[in-house]
Structure 1
Amino acid sequence: MVNDGARVRSRSSNRDLRKTLSRSRTNTGIHGKLHAETIVIGGGVIGCAIAYELAARGQDVLLIERGRIAEGASCAAAGMIAADSEHFSSPMMLNLAAMSRRLLHEQSEQLSSLSGMHIGFQQNGFITPIRLKNDLRSDSAVPTPRPRDSEIWWDSITAQQEASWLTKDIYGAYYRPLECDVLPVNLTQAYARSAQALGARIVEGVHHVNLRVDANRVQGVETSIGTMTCQHVIVANGIQGEALMKQAGLQLPILPVKGEIAAVQFPDHSGQLAPDKTIYAEDIYIVPKANGEVWIGATVLPGESDLHVTAAGLQKLLERAVSWVPGIAEAQFVRAWAGVRPSTPDGLPYLGACESISGLYTAFGHHRNGILLSAVTGSLLADFIEGKSSEELNVQGCRPERFNKRGILH
């Protein structure tokens, strides 16, 4: 899943959002009221989900974004809510993913109502095809055990009956009916608009953000539009989070992992050539989206942070996609884009309160699961602001300062 970077977006809906945000700045007099109970730094899906949850709980929240809402991380994502399909390294992450999927189900109707936006929510299920019987004994191919009702085995005959567009060169497939997907930019914007509808303030184009810390307590942020004071600061700006935390003397390392995605579209008369369920294979994912496109991703390039789509990467994606869904060879190419995932050394996001600096919180480093974990991250951070601990929330493994305390970083 690609969850950071890129420059592709829904232009008409973004123009509408910019008008809304502009009206919000005028109506709240943001330049004259540079104080909030909680300041959220970052206007991607994580930051906007947090702002929404805080506003829903009656908090005075101000979100600041250096560019535009959904311009970076969230416009490069594939938008899969793959709680059962994703390979997680810990039971904690499995639980968070399942919680987040459930929360998003619960939120989807309210988000659409408050924001007036269609988030592209679909629950068509995900398919993981298996080419050979021997693959079932491979550690990389056997899914993590799930509750019985979340995964169904299809033999090759059933797979062809349920997904006639799938290659016939398979032994069988796992079908996970609870999996769903969204349009990531729409979801991010819906969180932002809904947060505003509940009283949150959002300001775009805020540059030169610096943390203000005094006597081991956060005091606010210095920005291009002035000094902002607050009781709490939540750093949720993805790949830029590491640099911001260094200002407070904290080492929260991030490794950029570039990924490329392509979009194709089938003509109306394509019939049984076009997939109607997501393919979640070991080497690729193929996602039919609510906007009529099919998204194909994603390459994995650790350490790279440019946003260029390479010919080699695109060729690899399309060849793999056609090997699973032959009809893609007949589809119309629409566009391709690249993004950068913010990865951490142990694969777990930085979530929670910083123990050494009172009032400072983090919510970044989600790697390929930003969209999936957005709803639960919003809920968790609101819980942290209300005073709950990592132990109470069962997310001790995501403590922001965990590497420093283990002596990994000096």
Structure 2
Amino acid sequence: MQKRGSVPPDQGSNDPSRLDACYASDETYESDTSYETANIPRSTASCKLHAETIIVGGGVIGCAIAYELTRRGHEVLLIEQNEIASGSSCAAAGMLAADSEDFTHPVIAQAALESRALLHSQKDQLSALSGMELGLRQSGFITPFRSYSELSRYKENRRSSSLTEQIWWDRNTVQREAGWLNRDTYGAYYRSLESEILPVSLTRAYVRSAHRMGAAIWEGVKDIQLIGNQLGVQGIATPKGNITCKHVIIAAGLNGETLLQQARIDLPTTPVKGEIAAIQFPADQTAYKPDRTLYAEDVYIVPKANGDVWIGATSWPGKKDHSVSAYSVQRLLGAASSWVPGIKEAHFLRAWAGVRPSTPDGLPYIGECENMPGLFTAYGHYRNGILLSAVTGRWIADMLEGKRAEEIGIEALSPNRLNRKEVVR
């Protein structure tokens, strides 16, 4: 198996059958406009395009996989039909809520803790390779309650329990530690290990770091077709030509289902639209600005490293459009200002929407497809794509290097699990 290691993209192999691609320039990347590719050989009768591993999907999951594989020395081609981080990844709030989120399955609960820790450990290398700031902040999350009865319902309904420390703040502590909260707040849980990140920055840092270590990146490639049979995956067909490979990883979010149907593999997802608003506090109102993330039952409020405060999120199952309704903005701002009254004086900046893929049992599809050896899936993370990106990259890399899902402890996420009768579809 040929491994590229950390060979710079401008010093790669001269073999014309090998892929090599690069961004047009650092200026193009830094301006957040687009990526361009260069030196891509055309497919001919005597020269076929080839890559050891092809990743389809340029969101945070695909880019995290590309980073982990190239870090281990694998040859990678990442293909995105639009632009990097243009799908669900650009609509996330970037919360690494490993303790605050109520997970439905213990595998995901444990994975969230591992992924958060792994992402923190990757930060320095990602920043060094990509030249980007990730906006990673660890100031803890606050889950507030208006009354004792509300707190009791929270405890009764919570399906997963935190594996790390959480501290109870009574009314007096809340006012001392978070004076920007509504004075009627009964109390709150404070989880100090929780953190958040700028999601688009993370996604682009992953892909730029992968490229620096030798990965090829193609954007704007549509009409991708899988090539393979029951004996295994053989490659993909694109408008740029057919590309042979050893592995194909489908990390294309909502488009993953369509791609896999080409191989007669049915792994359904449901689109769930979510909307987020961003505000900014004027200089004379900073005393009323949250300095920690508020993770309430009806809203979350996330102060970002760039100075904005993000408020989210609505949830509209079945909706695939990217419009933002006035009702949703009113609902988000109303819920947020009921917890943080100072939001009423903040400046409204913008609102945006994204569509996330949800699976029938709420678990992502991660692993190798039995119907076509060499074909792997890594999609369906729904609202936890940013949080689970680092560990998903590690899982996929481990499996490509020979580890079985059972060894890793993620057989519950197998893309073949829908054949079981207990899964409702």
**TM-score clears 0.5:** yes
| Match for residue 296 of structure 2 among 281, 286, 311 | 281
Unaligned runs of at least 5 residues, structure 2: 1-26
Is contact 1:260–1:299 with CA below 8 Å preserved after alignment? yes
Percent of residue pairs identical: 55
Higher mean alpha-carbon deviation, 63-72 vs 26-35, is at 26-35
CA deviations 1:17-73 (Å, max 9, x no partner) are 667x42xx3256587762111000000000000000000000001000001111111
> Which residue number in structure 2 is paired with residue 120 of structure 1?
135
Give, in whole Å, the separation in 2 of the partners of 1:362 and 1:41: 10
Give, in whole Å, the separation in 2 of the partners of 1:219 and 1:299: 41
Letter paired with 2:191: R
**Secondary structure of 2:333's aligned partner:** helix
> Which residue number in structure 2 is paired with residue 26 of structure 1?
38
Give, in whole Å, the separation in 2 of the partners of 1:382 and 1:292: 35
| Match for residue 217 of structure 1 among 232, 238, 261 | 232
Label 1:140 to 1:251 Cα distance change in 2 as closer, same or farther (>3 A).
Answer: farther
TM-score scaled by length of structure 2: 0.89
User: Following superposition of structure 1 onto structure 2, how do residues 259-408 of structure 1 map, counting pairs within 5 Å?
Assistant: 259-406=274-421
Label 1:13 to 1:92 Cα distance change in 2 as closer, same or farther (>3 A).
Answer: farther
> Which residue number in structure 2 is paired with residue 6 of structure 1?
none
Give, in whole Å, the separation in 1 of the partners of 2:260 and 2:30: 32
**Secondary structure of 2:132's aligned partner:** coil
- Measured after TM superposition, the shift of residue 214 of structure 1 is 2.4
Letter paired with 2:181: L
Letter paired with 1:26: A
Q: Quick check: 1:146 aligned with 2:146? A: no
- Measured after TM superposition, the shift of residue 226 of structure 1 is 1.1
TM-score scaled by length of structure 1: 0.93
Q: Quick check: 1:164 aligned with 2:176? A: no
User: Following superposition of structure 1 onto structure 2, how do residues 237-276 of structure 1 map, counting pairs within 5 Å?
Assistant: 237-276=252-291
CA RMSD, Structure 1 to Structure 2 (Å): 1.8
Is contact 1:135–1:141 with CA below 8 Å preserved after alignment? no
Label 1:264 to 1:192 Cα distance change in 2 as closer, same or farther (>3 A).
Answer: same
Is contact 1:208–1:223 with CA below 8 Å preserved after alignment? yes
Give, in whole Å, the separation in 1 of the partners of 2:198 and 2:255: 24
Is contact 1:114–1:193 with CA below 8 Å preserved after alignment? yes
Higher relative CO (Cα under 8 Å, sequence separation at least 6) belongs to 1
Unaligned runs of at least 5 residues, structure 1: 1-11
Q: Quick check: 1:197 aligned with 2:212? A: yes
- Measured after TM superposition, the shift of residue 170 of structure 1 is 1.5
Give, in whole Å, the separation in 2 of the partners of 1:185 and 1:29: 30
Structure index of larger Rg = 2
Label 1:409 to 1:249 Cα distance change in 2 as closer, same or farther (>3 A).
Answer: farther
Give, in whole Å, the separation in 2 of the partners of 1:171 and 1:102: 31
Label 1:33 to 1:84 Cα distance change in 2 as closer, same or farther (>3 A).
Answer: farther
Higher mean alpha-carbon deviation, 160-169 vs 210-219, is at 210-219
- Measured after TM superposition, the shift of residue 215 of structure 1 is 3.6
